[in-house]
Structure 1
Amino acid sequence: TYGVDLALICETHLKTDQRFNISGHNIYRTDREHGKGGGTAVIIKDYLPHYRANINDTENLEATTISISTKTGHINFVAAYNPPSKILLKQDLDNITSSDNYFIGGDLNSKNTLWNSRITNRNGRILEEHANEAYYNIIAPDTPTYYPGNYLHRPDILDIILTNLKIMPDTLTVLQELDYDHNPLLCEWEALQRYLDIHTEQDIDAAIELFTTTLQETYKINTTISRKHHDFRIDHPELSYLLSLKREARRDWQRLRTPNERTRYNRLKAIVKRTVNQIRRTNFNTFVTDTATNMQKTCTITKVLKGTSKKSNTPAIHGKQGMAFSSLDKANAIALTLEDQFKPNPVHDQNFNRDVTRSVNDYIQRPITDLPAPITEQELQTTIKQLKLNKAPENGKVELEEVNPHLRGGRVENHLGKTIPSSPDRDLNLDLPVLSSRAQHESTETRWMKSQDISRSGKLISSIVQWGRGAVFCCLWCGSICSGFLLLYCPLLPLLFFHQRLFRRLTDIIFAAWEIYPASFMKELESKAWLPTPQPCTEHKSMCRLRKKESTTHLKDPLEQFDLDLLFTSG
């Protein structure tokens, strides 16, 4: 109706998964990613030469920018929206007013009496100061552009224009067209205005020649192939009559602000909405019926539904210097990326090579710290004896002085025979299982410490059934033996449970018990172990009788007469 070439839209309320297209126009959107509402968009006719400028959302300001190429230069058109809950920042205004020519329109929620608002708020004062510093004009209409839903609230001017172009306020017109609390603002101005100073006939001839030449050049440059434009307005007399009634009711409500006028306006708006939906359903059913009998229409609608009828715009590129929207900026961004990827090898530098060689030689010639002797069973036994009774390590930690000193640094020889640095964080350190076992079994250690006095006093705590097989030599000449299972009690069992990860063989466990508590171990072995009865052989019967008593005497070393490498089962 108004022949709009470019539209700046604020508060689109669109999400990234929602589609919005208008035939014959290009739409550039900046949707709000988090939260409801918000969003800006710019709609421009596709035959106008333009590109998307590199100005996006700032800290508090939502903006969408396109740049139109004209004969006198580029003009940036910005759709801006500042939420009412956020402060208008000067750095955001610097970002959108950084170009040479700009036209910024939208709802900045900035009120000031200088542009016909009722009051002046904080954002209005900030915008006034920035306009004086940056030398641009703030243009607003004479009538309100915002009508709140609550009739108790008064209308005001929120939609304004910031520009450094030669645009006068009388070019703005507020339209009473949309069913929204914000009325659209129409701006019309002459792109080229010439003021001629004519006094003589020669001046008239020169002006005519200048006008003719300018008109011809403009025609050659701006002539494009005409495209067929469809009129999408619904030709329905009843709907046109209802629309006129609704617009009249809207004007009355905005002028009188009474509840009756608002009720009348809402009722007519609902009637118009139902009528439009009914007409659309009827037209769609007719279109589907006609398409079923026409193959060309079927192919066309199939392409539209699949989204392959029109090639989508090339998306922006995020380069090293920021977002690239125009073709030139995209080409430069790709060139910079390829330049970084395909750089030649560095030029041969003698000083650099000399420094590298010196560093490598210093590292190779560095002396290697000798590895301390590995931990032994005797050291472990001594450490266990020195531990305090009834006290576990605090927070499951083990002091470094209790383990092999090479845990604190140095070098360890691995299974390949190579000497490598060692640290408590390396998996190659062979004493790490000692630390983990101590930390995991601190409660077991405490119980074992408490059980020492109990076991020494002769009380039976627990037993190991069939842990090994004892053998008594009956005959020293023929080597015949009698064997049987042994039954032992504490302190062997707690020691076994506590050190079951430290010792890999049963002989090591028995040896540790023998070395740490020899008296208690022998007492348990003598009183609780079941020794088999010797069975002398017939050939050396007399000899065996003589050796029988000697074979059952006190054992000095259990490792001499018992096969302790056998596996056991605990009862």
Structure 2
Amino acid sequence: MKNIRETLSNLIISHWNINGIAGKCSELKQYVQDRRLHIMMLNETKLNSERNIKITNFKCIRKDRNERGTSGGVMIYVREGIRCHEVPLDTKIIEAVAIKLENNLVIVSAYKAPGNKLDSRDLNLIFQTGSKVFMYGDFNVKSTAWNCRFTNTRNSTIFDFAENYLCEIHYPDNFTSYPYNSTFPSTVDTDISKNIVCDITVDAINEFDSDHLPVILSMSISTAKLEMEIRTFPNYKKANWGLFRKLINKNLTLSRSIKTQADLDRSVNDLVSVIHNAMEKSIPRNSC
């Protein structure tokens, strides 16, 4: 295994109210890989602590609702190599899980059930976790400002908070929610961001047979670039073994007399160096 470092100038994030992850594992894993995501945020996972859903080359931070997976639950998948740590949150109404990247950007996956009133105290708690905060979620807040047919009363809390704390609200141009029991689609998935000076594009993706569409966000982070470690592995199936043998025979010297421990150490180091150099030139590497 070999680590290399790549500077990310464009962070690809997706958010999806998955409305139960257990029956959509295959779709989710394929979606994450096909879209080459860096971060996947989920709402309404409906999991309990007894069930783990793994995605290859991703680490998972999650918070399940206490009602044994009957509803709710939030989760963030982060591509391996992106350095981050979980930020503890103790919110009351908003279900939320958060991570902080090495460039100090806090990313939050959040969900508010439709029967609950949005609490500004939860918003204050979340946005006090860092100087740069990006939160995306399904808040079940409707507004004509983001293409809904009407504005509900829960909307004012988000607008008031965004205005008081100089936050921005982003949303896709197309709808994100197509309720099974209603003929009227709406947009209930939005983001709230603070002190993020960059271009953010948001698009809802009509890809799954679901009442909620996943949303993809492209975040240009050129003002606060993020380094990512990428693990690579030799692809022995595509190795040029003829070239490998030729390089070994050309560069390996066996005439040295080994009389002391120091002679042995030098010979071993020379052998390892010759093998590594031959591998670099004859065996391609794949990243995970």
Structure 2 length normalisation: TM-score? 0.65
Map 1:168-247 → 2, pairs under 5 A: 168=199, 171-192=201-222, 222=227, 224-228=229-233
Equivalent in the alignment of 2:64? 31
Q: Residues of 2 paired with 1:141 and 1:222: CA distance? A: 28
Pair 1:5 & 2:38 matched = yes
Pair 1:141 & 2:172 matched = yes
Map 1:41-60 → 2, pairs under 5 A: 41-56=75-90, 58-60=91-93
Asked if 1 retains the 8 angstrom alpha-carbon contact of 2:198 and 2:223, the reply is no
Structure 1 unaligned residues grouped into runs of 5+: 195-217, 231-571
Cα-Cα RMSD: 2.3
Pair 1:6–1:92, CA change in 2 (3 A): same
Asked if 2 retains the 8 angstrom alpha-carbon contact of 1:115 and 1:138, the reply is no
Pair 1:128–1:95, CA change in 2 (3 A): same
Percent of residue pairs identical: 25
Pair 1:121–1:52, CA change in 2 (3 A): same
Q: Residues of 2 paired with 1:89 and 1:229: CA distance? A: 51
Q: Which amino acid in 1 is paired with 2:88?
A: N
**Greater share of helix:** 1
Equivalent in the alignment of 1:294? none
Pair 1:229–1:112, CA change in 2 (3 A): farther
Q: Residues of 2 paired with 1:224 and 1:161: CA distance? A: 27
Other structure's SS at 2:89 match:
coil
Cα deviation for residue 224 of structure 1 reads 3.5
Pair 1:86 & 2:116 matched = yes
Q: Residues of 1 paired with 2:81 and 2:160: CA distance? A: 38
Q: Number of residue pairs matched?
A: 199
Pair 1:19–1:128, CA change in 2 (3 A): same
Q: Residues of 2 paired with 1:84 and 1:105: CA distance? A: 16
Q: Residues of 2 paired with 1:102 and 1:116: CA distance? A: 25
Q: Residues of 2 paired with 1:229 and 1:158: CA distance? A: 45
Other structure's SS at 1:93 match:
helix
Q: Residues of 2 paired with 1:179 and 1:228: CA distance? A: 36
Asked if 2 retains the 8 angstrom alpha-carbon contact of 1:63 and 1:79, the reply is yes
Q: Which amino acid in 1 is paired with 2:217?
A: C
Cα deviation for residue 34 of structure 1 reads 2.0
Of the two structures, which has the highest relative contact order with CA contacts closer than 8 Å and spacing of 6 or more? 2
Q: Residues of 2 paired with 1:222 and 1:87: CA distance? A: 39
Q: Residues of 2 paired with 1:181 and 1:229: CA distance? A: 42
Q: Which amino acid in 1 is paired with 2:146?
A: W
CA-to-aligned-CA distance 1:144-177 (integer Å, 9 cap, x gap) = 0000113x420000110110213556x1111112
Q: Residues of 2 paired with 1:67 and 1:229: CA distance? A: 32
Structure 2 unaligned residues grouped into runs of 5+: 1-33, 236-288
CA-to-aligned-CA distance 1:212-248 (integer Å, 9 cap, x gap) = xxxxxx8xx9474533599xxxxxxxxxxxxxxxxxx
Asked if 2 retains the 8 angstrom alpha-carbon contact of 1:136 and 1:162, the reply is yes
Pair 1:55–1:229, CA change in 2 (3 A): farther
Other structure's SS at 1:122 match:
coil
Q: Residues of 2 paired with 1:223 and 1:111: CA distance? A: 37
**Greater share of strand:** 2
Runs of 4+ in 1 over 6 A off after TM superposition: none
CA-to-aligned-CA distance 1:74-105 (integer Å, 9 cap, x gap) = 01100000000110011011011112101100
Pair 1:229–1:115, CA change in 2 (3 A): farther
Cα deviation for residue 114 of structure 1 reads 2.1
Pair 1:80–1:222, CA change in 2 (3 A): closer
Choose from 89, 105, 122 the match for 2:136: 105
Q: Residues of 2 paired with 1:223 and 1:65: CA distance? A: 19
Pair 1:167–1:158, CA change in 2 (3 A): farther
Cα deviation for residue 191 of structure 1 reads 1.1
